[in-house]
């Protein structure tokens, strides 16, 4: 990015399996509360692993009219709730509409919309009449379902587009939003990510055999990043939203700065298979982000790891982190909040940026729960088993996706959450 314009975070909002707002999520992070459970409909549908993050569907009847609701996919509903909280925190909403003098962009990560496609197919197969699909279905099926709905509902007038980059989608969305602000294209951008949680969305993941095996019949113990006994990831979802803003623009409005997006790094580096990461690609993204921020590995106080709980992925990331930190592994905290949330997929980069912001503001590192015996590759990393008080000034957040798409964000601390 390398520009004189600094990028501030002035609002954050979330709807996830560990909380339906920032307050609930902070409490979960502090006590190590898992949001993982079992979905019976997945077993009936044919899943080998019925585990998932349990995300409550919001009731929007008092907030949106029937026509608006008809055009919204599941993940767009989550994104609306998260965005509403973020925009309110940023002081930008007036009666659920953006202030008239603010031209805000909208960039969200989203890489699927399975449910409305299946629903439309079932209608056509049974009735052979496209009129019965309904006029709102098309707006639910597109990958841009989130950005188009948010831009319409909140009357956003800036650049609006979606990022499709597997499980790095929303991290790239934040990085691209920050770039637009740095380059003077936008003063304000609503950005983040959203992930549907229905049974249709994750069946192909289950087919890969990458999902976790239930641990001791305890769903909350199944997501075990960096643990030697990990067996795979647990899928999850919801939505996370951040308001990014030109620093001076935010100060001119009298807003407190929650944190800064100081750096963004991206790379591509797949292993032998599309689903396998490579140390070189992971390392490149982290180094690019540090270079962009004008920092070195010595400056990092905490790394929110991508670690999903897969045997190969966690080891590769641990090796890359070790190479990056060198002799400073004893100084830098490392943890994976996916131990509590599961893998939030398209929204993970945004939700973990929010988790990291909360930790920086509140002075603690969330625990890497379910870590009984650290994997050999991660044994020397400074991984907390319980929430630990810590002075975090610079945080790195990693997000990696199929095909080797890698994204790393550097966040730096500023003032307190308003």
The residues annotated as belonging to the active site are: 167, 306, 343
Look at the block and give the residue holding tokens 């609701």.
69
| C-beta of residue 174 within 8 angstroms of C-beta of residue 146 | no
Distance of CA 32 to the CA centre of its chain: 18
* DSSP category for residue 341: H
- Phi-psi group of 357: left, alpha or beta (phi > 0 → left; psi -120 to 50 → alpha; rest → beta): alpha
| C-beta of residue 337 within 8 angstroms of C-beta of residue 352 | yes
| C-beta of residue 117 within 8 angstroms of C-beta of residue 276 | no
Distance of CA 89 to the CA centre of its chain: 19
List of E strands, 185-300: 188-195, 238-246, 259-268
Dig out the tokens for 180 from the structure.
Answer: 């637009």
Alpha carbon distance 165, 154 (integer Å): 25
* DSSP category for residue 402: G
Alpha-carbon dihedral sign for residues 197, 198, 200, 204: positive
Length of the chain: 418
* DSSP category for residue 218: B
Alpha carbon distance 243, 254 (integer Å): 15
Alpha carbon distance 60, 20 (integer Å): 14
Look at the block and give the residue holding tokens 């407190």.
256
Alpha carbon distance 223, 152 (integer Å): 37
* Alpha-helical segments (H) within 253-337: 279-293, 311-325
- Neighbouring CB atoms inside 10 A of 170's CB total 36
How many Cα neighbours within 13 Å face the side chain of 280? 5
How many Cα neighbours within 13 Å face the side chain of 52? 27
């Amino acid at each position: 990015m390398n520009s004189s314009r600094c990028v501030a975070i002035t609002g954050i909002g979330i709807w996830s399996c560990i909380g339906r707002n920032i307050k609930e999520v902070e409490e979960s992070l502090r006590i190590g509360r898992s949001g993982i459970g079992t979905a019976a409909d997945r077993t009936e549908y044919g899943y080998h692993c019925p585990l998932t993050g349990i995300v409550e569907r919001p009731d929007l009847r008092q907030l949106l009219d029937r026509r608006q609701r008809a055009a919204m996919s599941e993940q767009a509903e989550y994104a609306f709730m998260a965005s509403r909280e973020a925009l309110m925190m940023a002081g930008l909403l007036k009666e659920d509409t953006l202030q008239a003098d603010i031209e805000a962009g909208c960039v969200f990560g989203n890489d699927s919309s399975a449910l409305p496609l299946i629903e439309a197919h079932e209608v056509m197969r049974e009735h052979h009449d496209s009129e019965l699909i309904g006029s709102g279905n098309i707006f639910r099926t597109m990958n841009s379902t989130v950005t188009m709905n948010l831009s319409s509902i909140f009357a956003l007038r800036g650049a609006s587009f979606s990022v499709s980059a597997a499980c790095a989608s929303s991290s790239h969305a934040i990085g691209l939003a920050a770039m637009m602000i740095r380059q003077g294209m936008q003063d304000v951008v609503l950005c983040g990510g959203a992930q549907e949680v229905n049974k249709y969305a994750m069946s192909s993941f289950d087919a890969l055999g990458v999902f976790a095996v239930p641990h001791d019949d305890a769903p909350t113990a199944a997501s075990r990043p960096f643990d030697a006994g990990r067996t795979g990831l647990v899928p999850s979802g919801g939505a996370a939203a951040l308001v990014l803003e030109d620093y001076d623009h935010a100060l001119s409005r009298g807003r407190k700065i929650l944190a800064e997006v100081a750096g963004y790094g991206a790379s591509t580096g797949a292993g032998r298979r599309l689903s396998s990461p490579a140390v070189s690609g992971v390392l490149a993204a982290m180094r690019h982000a540090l270079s962009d921020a004008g920092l070195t590995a010595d400056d990092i106080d905490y790394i929110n790891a991508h670690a999903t709980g897969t045997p190969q992925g966690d080891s590769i990331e641990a090796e890359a982190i070790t190479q990056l930190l060198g002799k400073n592994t004893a100084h830098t905290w490392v943890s994976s909040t996916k131990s509590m949330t599961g893998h939030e997929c398209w929204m993970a980069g945004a939700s973990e940026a929010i988790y990291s912001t909360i930790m920086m503001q509140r002075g603690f590192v969330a625990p890497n729960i379910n870590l009984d015996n650290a994997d050999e590759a991660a044994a020397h990393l400074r991984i907390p088993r319980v929430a630990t008080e810590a002075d975090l000034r610079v945080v790195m957040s990693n997000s990696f996706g199929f095909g080797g798409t890698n994204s790393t964000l550097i966040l730096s601390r500023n003032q307190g959450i308003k």
